[in-house]
A and B are shown apart, each in its own frame.
Chain A
Amino acid sequence: MTLTESLPILVIIIPLISAIIIPLIGRIDKSIAFAFVISANFLSFIISISLLNTVMETGRISYWLGGWEPPWGIEYVVDYLSGFVLVIVSFIAFIISVYAKKSVEMEVEGEKILPFYSIYMLLVTGFMGMIITGDIFNLYVFIEISALAGYALIAIGKKRAALIASYNYLVLGTIGATFILLGIGYLYMATGTLNMADLRERLPMLYDSKVVLTAFAFITVGLSLKLALFPFHIWLPNVYNHAPSVVSALMAATSAKVIAYVLVRIMFSVFTMKFDLEVVPVTKILLFLSVIAIIAGSVLAIAQTNIKRMLAYSSIGQIGYIVLGIAISNQLSMTGSLIHLLNHALMKGTLFLVVGAVVYKTGMEDISSLKGMGKKMPFTMAAFTIGALSMIGVPLTVGFVSKWYLALGALKAGMWFLVFIILVSSLLNAVYFWRVIEGIYFHQKPKVRSQKSTTKDSIESLKPEIQNQDDAPVGMLIPTLILAGLCIVFGIAAFIPVSVVTPIVNMLLEV
């Protein structure tokens, strides 16, 4: 077996092994351990890219774990869809690991830093495994790995409230995982197989079986809980609010994407379109929930005073977008949904990294603490502005591309009111993001204004403000700016991600 053939297993092995040896390396030198985390993440990013490349050229890759032939052995599958999501997740994990150093040093106690990175890599392992596995029980295993790593990461910070947030998440997350496991059990009961491709072949004969219906219901509910789809979202704001900034950023940018990916897998790869539309009206239910999620998430975001909480509620709305496109399930809307996996990862990643930098500099995370930051941290705030404009959906940002496809998909399906929902939600986004932007750039302390009238030259009065400039350290700034830059690059060169997503949609919808 050559190295190229082993690539699918390497995306799991590399983070998993590094999770184990990070504490060992850290005993020698902490900075080497940090460099190791970055290089491990970079390596799995490169491998993901090359996997996606191979898939685009030669089609589906199948890797048999231990050489056992599926459906008996565990199969790892890289197709268009998993290749695409692998690249997103490994890229975000890499960018955030570059960013993490200073932020973690500040928000996590000294002796917990090495375990932090260890669990970080374990979380990445879980995510990558969920994406790549072609075995439905193995999927559950990876869901649990990522979930347990997630609970630990959330609670590892200095904040006491994080413990409660993590505990609540643990309870609800475990309920969700249990639902998923029950569903998987029923599927196995009905079909006698755990391999996804095999399930796809066997299930159509059993579509009227009550066991299969129950299994599907259990899995969907479990995933919705993990996804924080309305009304299962209550755990999410506390988690994003109280977890260390790096963890909030990583979870916001990748966690929901991976679960959404699993939902798509189950709905369109394990089950078929026919089942989703005709046997169980699951798309209708999801449509209904996603519409409420979009509106409720945005409305609740307006009411927040804590910036992390605001972004968390905004995420609930954005998860609604992803599910909306899946629920409409035509070509355009699915494109919108899948491209939003990437786009939302970039936008939310940018915004959370900015917030992390502000927390690092000021220690505060209230929206009001951003006031006047435009002069103090110009580059970081420029990144925030780009991310925010993208969330509003201004043309030439990635947000517009998602919205374009979702709206056209809704119109194609003849569902006008959904376009209305999408636009209302952008208006609400505009309300809560513009409020922050206005505070960043157009806030003058009364003191400064009185100075202005006394100084003769306006140029003079500006000087002390310029000296105050105190932007985030380069190690935090560059990853933030890269993500913000990509919000624009993929907003203009939107045809690049779309060219990757189009074959996925064709594959899923069997066009």
Chain B
Amino acid sequence: MEIIQSAQPLYTVAVSLLAIILIGLSGNKDPNLRESWTILAAIIKFFMVVSMIPQILDSKVIEYSLITLLPGLEIKFRVDALALTFATTASFLWIITSFYSIGYMRTLKEHAQTRYFMCFAGAMAGAIGVAFSANLFTLFLFYETITFCTFPLVAHSEKPDAIKGARKYIVYLLGTSLAFQLFAIFLTYNVAGTLEFSNQGILAGKASNALLTVIFILFIAGVGKAAMMPLHAWLPAAMVAPGPVSALLHAVAVVKVGVFTVVKVILHVFGIDLLSQLGLGTCLAYFASFTIIVASVIALRQDNLKACLAYSTISQLSYIVLGVALLAPSGITGSILHITMHAFAKITLFFTAGTIYLVTHKTRISELAGIGKQMPFTMSAFAVASLSMIGIPPLGGFLSKWFLAIGSIEAKQIPIIIVLATSSILNASYFLPIVHAAFFKEPHYAKHQSPKPKQNMLEAPALVLIPLMITAIGTLVLFLWPSLFLDLARIVVAGVTGEN
């Protein structure tokens, strides 16, 4: 494995930090200039990420050490295949979401837009920082950056319910990370003498099994962003945020950072050999299965569309944890693929939920009957993304579920297949009725509502509509040409299993 020393990872993270300053300086005086910084930073960031792909596919690794605070505390970046999978997905979707945000925020004439775009850029810097981190300290640093940058986004409206939701958000995320994750980091450093990620893990043979188990549990409990039950309640609470925030942050950046951290801990802190020896992988897999099923069942009962999507996210995130916890090559491949597949499908769903609110101010599933006639493009995108979530070919979601299923056979955990099947049925049973109602039912009106929908805005503005069409088409494209992500996943698996 060849290591290239290059500052490019740093620049990739820093470009959105620079954007924060420029956005702040532009302020409210010139909104177009301000938004152009966001777009520019997003595009530059994406191309910087993409430009690293050839080297990574060549089985090289890019490293850059920024500063050593203290022995063991180093801010260091490392770009490998796993990092790049997440970074490519997140940075691409940032571009899309930036356009969507502009359309959404301007249509609703939201307040404090400067703060909004600054925090957005900060959260993205954090997400890419987590992706590129080379050790637990750097990861923790950017993990907290995201928490602090997204708090103002969740509390955006500053109304009492938003403040309440945001408070729950910060209590869960900051609380778990300070209490458990930091504890785990202290213990890891004390035991291993290093925080640096390694393909073989850093804890093997360093401590008793009991201590290792404690560290593992602390890590899993400490990553609140992964929204594993019972630490999931922040995610539905954070749905008070504006549409684009829910879309990017709670379908991609925040929650994916959570599962990404879990994946990192499993593969690069413990290593699959150590975990299978301890038997902890299987435990985690069944723990994740519980979340998958229960969250789906809860999602069935939601009437608020965003809450339904939030529980669906909780369920889907555990797929990723499940796949890695199986500790089997195909399971890991499935997990890595699912990071991307779920991101495209879920962001589409959140975009559509935001768009429906934007156009009709409807938030409840029961109000959506017949909306497909009013908003055909939006609801078609919703239908495509739902099918991808359920896992129906030819859409991206099928691929990751396929690999997860094979992974569970490789790991000889047949009950997991039943979990996957059950979950798919549950997914279908909460998504398909929405699609059905939207296209095939006549709208029914409550007494206090006007008999006809507002005629002034039928379909959403183009700046909102085009992004969600792109991501919906993305789920199809990812099924047809998944080779990039498959190759990246193959490199990750080859690295951690030691086969080249």
* In the complex, chain A residues 421-475 whose Cβ is within 8 Å of any chain B Cβ: 423-424, 426-427, 430, 434, 438, 441-444, 449, 452, 456-459, 461-463
Q: A25 interface residue, CB < 8 Å from B?
A: no
* A118–B141 CA distance with the chains assembled, in angstroms: 45
Contacts of A495 in B (CB 8 A): 68-70
Q: A394-B144, A401-B69, A494-B70 are in contact. Are A452 and B111 (CB under 8 A)?
A: yes
Q: B442 interface residue, CB < 8 Å from A?
A: no
Q: Which residue of B163, B178, B190 contacts A426 across the interface (Cβ within 8 Å)?
A: B178
Q: A419-B186, A452-B111, A459-B28 are in contact. Are A494 and B69 (CB under 8 A)?
A: yes
Tell which of B91-99, B167-175, B271-279, B412-420 binds the partner. B167-175
A213 to chain B, nearest CB (A): 35
Q: B430 interface residue, CB < 8 Å from A?
A: no
Q: A498 interface residue, CB < 8 Å from B?
A: yes
Q: B189 interface residue, CB < 8 Å from A?
A: yes
Name A's interface SS. helix
Contacts of A396 in B (CB 8 A): 141
- Chain B, residues 151-178, CB within 8 Å of chain A (1/0): the string is 0100100110001001100100011001
Q: A303 interface residue, CB < 8 Å from B?
A: no
Contact A395 B141 (CB under 8 A): yes
Contact A404 B110 (CB under 8 A): no
- Chain A, residues 480-501, CB within 8 Å of chain B (1/0): the string is 0000000000011111001000
* In the complex, chain A residues 391-417 whose Cβ is within 8 Å of any chain B Cβ: 392-396, 401, 404, 407-408, 411-412
Contact A423 B69 (CB under 8 A): no
Contact B174 A430 (CB under 8 A): yes
* A73–B68 CA distance with the chains assembled, in angstroms: 46
Interface size class of A (residues with CB under 8 A): 35 or more
A466 to chain B, nearest CB (A): 8
- Chain B, residues 336-366, CB within 8 Å of chain A (1/0): the string is 0000000000000000000000000000000
Q: B270 interface residue, CB < 8 Å from A?
A: no
Q: B294 interface residue, CB < 8 Å from A?
A: no
Contact B110 A458 (CB under 8 A): yes
Contact B189 A408 (CB under 8 A): yes
Number of residues of chain B lying within 8 A (CB) of chain A: 35
Contacts of B155 in A (CB 8 A): 438, 442
* A444–B112 CA distance with the chains assembled, in angstroms: 12
* In the complex, chain A residues 357-413 whose Cβ is within 8 Å of any chain B Cβ: 389, 392-396, 401, 404, 407-408, 411-412
- Chain A, residues 133-171, CB within 8 Å of chain B (1/0): the string is 000000000000000000000000000000000000000
* In the complex, chain B residues 83-116 whose Cβ is within 8 Å of any chain A Cβ: 109-113
Nearest-neighbor residue (CB-CB) of B141 within chain A: A395
Q: Which residue of A395, A404, A458, A498 contacts B109 across the interface (Cβ within 8 Å)?
A: A458
Q: A72 interface residue, CB < 8 Å from B?
A: no
* A463–B174 CA distance with the chains assembled, in angstroms: 33
* A2–B137 CA distance with the chains assembled, in angstroms: 49
Contacts of B31 in A (CB 8 A): 459
Q: A427-B175, A442-B158, A492-B67 are in contact. Are A395 and B186 (CB under 8 A)?
A: no
Contact A434 B170 (CB under 8 A): yes
Q: A68 interface residue, CB < 8 Å from B?
A: no
Contacts of B159 in A (CB 8 A): 449
Q: B290 interface residue, CB < 8 Å from A?
A: no
Contact A492 B69 (CB under 8 A): yes
Contact B183 A412 (CB under 8 A): no
Contacts of A456 in B (CB 8 A): 109
Q: B187 interface residue, CB < 8 Å from A?
A: yes
Q: Which residue of A389, A408, A461, A463 contacts B186 across the interface (Cβ within 8 Å)?
A: A408
Contact B183 A423 (CB under 8 A): yes
Q: B140 interface residue, CB < 8 Å from A?
A: yes
Q: B182 interface residue, CB < 8 Å from A?
A: yes
Q: B484 interface residue, CB < 8 Å from A?
A: no
A406 to chain B, nearest CB (A): 10
* In the complex, chain B residues 1-60 whose Cβ is within 8 Å of any chain A Cβ: 28, 31
Residue from B111, B141, B175, B189 whose CB has the most chain A CB atoms within 10 Å: B111
Contact B179 A424 (CB under 8 A): yes
* A434–B171 CA distance with the chains assembled, in angstroms: 10
Contact B140 A392 (CB under 8 A): no
B175 to chain A, nearest CB (A): 6
- Beyond contacts A395-B141, A404-B73, A495-B70: 14 other A-B pairs, Cβ-Cβ < 8 A, are A393-B178, A394-B144, A404-B186, A407-B186, A408-B186, A408-B190, A427-B175, A430-B175, A438-B155, A456-B109, A458-B109, A458-B111, A458-B113, A498-B70
In the assembled complex, 21 residue pairs joining A and B whose CB atoms fall closer than 8 Å, in A order, are A404-B186, A407-B186, A419-B186, A423-B183, A426-B182, A442-B155, A442-B158, A442-B166, A449-B158, A449-B159, A456-B109, A457-B109, A458-B110, A458-B112, A459-B28, A459-B31, A492-B69, A493-B67, A494-B69, A494-B73, A498-B70
Name the 9 nearest CB pairs between A and B, nearest first: A411-B190, A395-B141, A407-B186, A494-B69, A444-B158, A459-B28, A458-B111, A458-B109, A494-B70
